[in-house]
């Protein structure tokens, strides 16, 4: 006898307790009791089959949920890593902006100083400007190296333009 496939919402057959059947039936009652016992056994096997299929479906669902949780954990890990790298890049950008502001202030100070200095004092101002330009170029190279991934700089990084 082949069991039919289990439907999604198939109801369990009624359970019959073993207490409904006598432990030692009288011999004249055995032929009448046999079909009842056999039917109870069939119903118990059907119930076990239905419960097994339901349990298999639950296991399948649990496995799918676990896979989804693992994917979510991986996504969260990647997002956390990305946020950490972004935070680090923001810090480097803030440092670069501070350095630019400082250099701009120094240029402005030298220009203001040049307006009040005689022509003979211009040599020292020009030397200060040269030093400042050199520092500016070094700063640009340093920033390009820290911001760009390894091997992506297309030039030596020393140009001013």
Q: What is the pTM of this model?
A: 0.50
pLDDT digits 0-9 by tens, 72-108: 999 999 999 999 999 999 998 898 899 889 988 888 8
Q: What is the pLDDT of residue 47?
A: 92
Residue with tokens 């999604």: 8
How far apart are the C-alpha atoms of 35 and 21, rounded to whole Å? 12
Contact 146, 95 (CB under 8 A): no
Contact 13, 43 (CB under 8 A): yes
First to last CA, the chain: 88
Per-residue 3-state assignment (H helix, E strand, C coil) for the chain: CCCCCCCCCCCCCCCCCHHHCCCCCCCCCHHHHHHHHHHHHHHHHHHHHHHHHHHHHHHHHHHHHHHHHHHHHHHHHHHHHHHHHHHHHHHHHHHHHHHHHHHHHHHHHHHHHHHHCCHHHHHHHHHHHHHHHHHHHHHHHHHHHHHCCCCCCCCCCCCCC
pLDDT digits 0-9 by tens, 13-44: 877 777 888 888 888 888 988 898 899 989 99
């Amino acid at each position: 006898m082949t069991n039919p496939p289990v439907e999604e919402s198939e109801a369990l057959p009624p359970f019959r307790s073993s207490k409904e059947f006598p432990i030692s039936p009288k011999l004249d009652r055995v032929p009448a009791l046999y079909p009842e016992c056999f039917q109870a056994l069939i119903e118990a096997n059907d119930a076990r089959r239905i419960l097994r299929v339901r349990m298999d479906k639950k296991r399948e669902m649990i496995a799918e949920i676990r896979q989804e949780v693992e994917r979510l954990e991986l996504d969260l890990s990647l997002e956390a890593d990305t946020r950490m790298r972004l935070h680090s890049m923001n810090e480097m950008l803030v440092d670069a902006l501070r350095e630019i502001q400082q250099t701009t202030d120094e240029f402005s100070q030298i220009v203001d100083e040049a307006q009040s200095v005689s022509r003979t004092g211009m040599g020292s101002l020009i030397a200060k400007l040269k030093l400042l330009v050199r520092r500016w170029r070094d700063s640009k190279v340093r920033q390009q190296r820290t911001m760009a991934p390894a091997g992506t700089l297309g030039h030596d990084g020393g140009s001013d333009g």
